[in-house]
Amino acid sequence: MQPGTAYVAPGHSHLLARKSGVGYVTELSRSEPVNHHRPSVDVLFHSAAACAGRHAVGAILTGMGKDGAAGMLAMKRAGAWNIGQDQASCVVFGMPREAIALKAVDEVLPLAAIGARLMSRLYTTVRNT
């Protein structure tokens, strides 16, 4: 994985993260759907919990259903710091609501504030490692 790069799962595969040497790489999997989805953000978040633990930072944004909530909780339990989008700025509050209900998020913010807060947290995380 490279700084400043967004990785998007194609519609037919789950996206996973895994440790490789001193960094991380992405991997695609055509395993069975999770929460009726492939790709499923739960798959990605569980892989981030397993390989990055406290070095991970997660964000869950607007979306329908509960996909991502259990994986985000796994990340939190592994020591990650997570943020969720607030209800007022969501088109559909399902996914963030479910993660918030599980107490899997550390902060809840409007969409417009999430990017700056993530950058601030990443800067702090990198400085403290």
CATH number at residue 49: 3.40.50.180
Confidence of residue 129 (pLDDT cuts 50, 70, 90): low
For the chain, the domain total comes to: 1
pLDDT in tens, 38-96: 999 999 999 999 999 999 999 999 999 999 999 999 999 999 999 999 999 999 999 99
Name the residue range of residue 38's domain.
14-127
Confidence of residue 4 (pLDDT cuts 50, 70, 90): confident
Distance CA 126, CA 94 (A): 31
For residue 29, is it within any domain?
yes
pLDDT at 5 over 70: yes
For residue 55, is it within any domain?
yes
For residue 73, is it within any domain?
yes
Predicted local confidence at residue 125, as pLDDT: 67
pLDDT in tens, 100-113: 999 999 999 999 99
Predicted local confidence at residue 19, as pLDDT: 96
